Amino acid sequence: MVKRIAWRAATVVEVRAETPSARTLVLDVPEWGGHLPGQHVDIRLTAEDGYQAQRSYSIASAWSAESGRVEVSVQRLADGEVSPYLTDVVETGDQIEVRGPIGGWFVWRQTSTAPVVLVAGGSGVVPLMAMIRARGLAGGRQPFRLIYSVRTPEDALYADELRRRAREDAGLDVHFVYTRKAPDDWPVPPRRLDVAVINSHGWPADFEPDCYVCGPNTFVETVADILVALGHDPKRIRTERFGGA
Amino acid sequence: MSIISRGFGGRRREPSPDLPPGQYLAHDFPVLSAGPTPRIPLDRWHFSIVTETGEKHTWNWAEFTALPAEEFTVDIHCVTKWSKLGTSWKGVSLDTLFEDVETAGDYAMAHSYGGYTTNVPLEDLLDGKAWIAYEYDGEPLHPEHGGPARLLIPHLYFWKSAKWVDGLRMMHEDEPGFWEDAGYHMYGDPWREQRYHGD
Ligand SMILES: Cc1cc2nc3c(=O)[nH]c(=O)nc-3n(C[C@H](O)[C@H](O)[C@H](O)COP(=O)(O)OP(=O)(O)OC[C@H]3O[C@@H](n4cnc5c(N)ncnc54)[C@H](O)[C@@H]3O)c2cc1C
C-alpha cells in the first residue's frame, strides 16, 4: 500500500549559526522513521491569514535512531521569501511543518563500495555533508573526496567539521575552491572551479566513482559537463539543482 | 490544520489564480534533471512510437520538423514548486504523431536520450494536450531545457514533460518511470498537488 508522506509539525530544538548568512535548524519531527543521506524535506510556512509557502531543503544530518533528529542548513537569499525566515526569524521552540524524507535517486547507500566524488557549490554541500556524516557514523571505508566551491572562506558551511573529519579519516579528502577571496596563506588566487581542479581532486574515471554534484543550477551544469568530458559515465553522475542562476 | 508560522507574512509577490497550490512564480527558467545534460547531434536524432505489438513508427529530424507544427502558449508547473506562466513553444502535436498509429495500450512510457523514462496515460497525450516541442521563445530548444526536442504536457507536473525525448512505448498497464520509481507521483496533477507517491 502506498503511504502518503504527511505534513508533520516539527519542533525546532536547536539553532546553530554556520556562517554569517547560513543557519542549521535541528528539528524534532514526530514519528520520523529515518532517512538516507541525500534526501530532502519540504518545509511549509503558513501566515496568519492562511497564505502558505513551501520550499525544499536537503537533510544535513545522518540518521541515527538515538538522536532521532533531522537537521537542515539554510542559506539566506536576501530577497527570498522562505530562507530569510528560516535563517533570521525562527527560534528554538517554534514549530514548522515538514514532510519527508523525499527523493530516492540523489542518495548514497552504505552498501555501495564504489569510490565517491562529491562536488558542492555553496549551500549545495548540505546533502553531501549528510553522506560524509553517514559514512562516518557507519565507520565506512569507501574512499570519499569532496571538492567544495565557495566564494570566500567565511561562506563555507561546516568548515571546521570538514577539516577535522579529513584529518582524522584517511579515507576522506576535502578540497576547498575559493572563487572570490582565498585565505591569506592559500597557494592559488581565487578562481572558478574548472577541469583541472576536478581532474586533480576527484577520482579518475577509470576508478568508476559515483559522482554527486549539488549547488546552484549553473554550477551543477558546468560540473556535470566537466565530469562527462573527463570520461565519467553519465549514469554515475547524480545531480541535485537547488535553483537560482 | 496547518500551524501558523509565528512572524511569517510571506512575500506573495504576485498572487495569481493561475498558480496551483504550493507553487510560486519563477521569472527565470529553472532546471530539474537527475544527471548531466546529454548533447544530441541532429543528424543522429530520431523519435519513435512503438506500440504494444512491437510496431514501430520512426521520424528523423528532417521528417519530424517537416510535420505540421503548432505554436502555443502554456503555463508550466515544476514539482520543485516554481511555475512559469505564458511560456511560448513550437512543436508537433502528439495527435499528429499518433495519426497512423494503431494501439490498444492505455499508457505510454516516454524514453529519453540518457536513459530517463516517465509514464503517462495515453489520453493525457491526445486531443491537443501534448506536444513534442523543439522551440522555446522563438529559439531552438536549449539542451539544458531538453533540446533538441522534449515532450510537453503542461497540465501535468513538468517532470512528465520528458527532456531529450526519443520515443514513446505503448503499454497495457501503467508502470513507473524513472522519477516515479524515485518516489514521485504516478500521475502528477499540479492542481491536486500530486507531487509524491500517495499524494
Ligand atoms: C531538492 C532541493 C534541495 C534544496 N536544499 C537546500 C538546502 O539544503 N539549503 C538551502 O539553503 N537551500 C536549499 N534549496 C533551495 C531552497 O529550496 C530555496 O529555493 C531557497 O532557500 C530560496 O528560497 P526563498 O524562498 O528564500 O527564495 P525565493 O523567494 O524562492 O527566491 C528569491 C530569489 O532567489 C532566486 N533563487 C531561488 N533559489 C535560489 C538558489 N538556490 N540560489 C540562488 N538564487 C536562488 C530566485 O530565482 C529569486 O530570484 C534546495 C532546493 C531543492 C530543489
Confirm whether pTM is higher than 0.90: no
State residue B197's pLDDT score. 84
Examine residue A121 and state whether it is found in any structural domain, yes or no. Answer: yes
Q: Cα–chain-centroid distance for residue B169?
A: 15
Residue A19 has pLDDT above 90, yes or no: yes
Q: Look at residue A229 and tell me if it is in a domain.
A: yes
B97 Cα to the center of ligand 1, angstroms: 38
Question: Which residue range is the domain that position A225 belongs to?
Answer: 116-242
**B13 pLDDT tier (thresholds 50, 70, 90):** low
Any domain includes B185: yes
Whether residues A129 and A229 fall in one domain = yes
pLDDT above 60 for B128: yes
Residue A110, in any domain of the structure: no
Task: Name the average pLDDT for chain A.
Answer: 94
Checking if the pLDDT of A2 tops 60, the result is: no
State the smallest CA–CA distance between residue B160 and chain A in angstroms.
Answer: 16
Boundary residue ending a domain (A102, A137, A164):
A102
Burial of B5 (0-12, 13-18, 19+ CB in 10 A): buried
Q: Number of structural domains, chain A?
A: 2
Q: pLDDT tens across B160-187, in order?
A: 999 999 999 999 999 999 989 888 999 9
Residues A83 and A187 in one domain: no
User: Would the pLDDT of A111 be above 80?
Assistant: yes
Percent of chain A exceeding pLDDT 90 equals: 86
- Looking at the fold, whether A152 and A228 belong to one and the same domain comes out as yes
Answer yes or no: is pLDDT of B14 > 70: no
CB contact under 8 A, B22 and A52: yes
Q: Is the pLDDT of residue B59 over 90?
A: yes
What is the rounded average pLDDT of the residues B53-80? 96
Identify the domain containing residue B148 by its residue range. 46-192
Domain CATH number, residue B51: 3.90.420.10
Q: How much of chain B exceeds pLDDT 90, in percent? A: 72
| List of chain A residues whose C-beta atoms are within 8 Å of the C-beta of residue B37 | 221, 224-225
Q: How confident is the model at residue A1 (pLDDT cuts 50, 70, 90)?
A: very low
Lowest mean per-residue pLDDT among B17-21, B45-49, B153-157: B17-21
pLDDT at B26: 82
Tens digit of each residue's pLDDT (9 = 90 or more) over A32-74: 999 999 999 999 999 998 888 999 999 999 999 888 899 999 9
Please give the pLDDT value at position A3. Answer: 59
A217 CB within 6 A, ligand 1: no
Give pLDDT, residue A4: 66
Average pLDDT value for residue range A147-163 = 97
Which domain-ending residue is among A72, A102, A132? A102
Do A17 and A66 reside in the same domain of the chain?
A: yes
pLDDT tens, position by position, A81-104: 999 999 999 999 999 999 999 988
Same domain (yes/no): A124, A221: yes
We report the CATH number of the domain holding residue A151 as 3.40.50.80
Q: What percent of chain A has pLDDT over 70?
A: 98
Residue A206 falls inside a structural domain: yes
How many domains does the structure of chain B reveal? Answer: 1
Contact B11/A81, CB-based, under 8 Å? yes
Contact assignment for A241 to B30 by CB distance below 8 Å: yes
How far is the C-alpha of B195 from the C-alpha of B157, rounded, in Å? Answer: 8
pLDDT value at A145 more than 90? yes
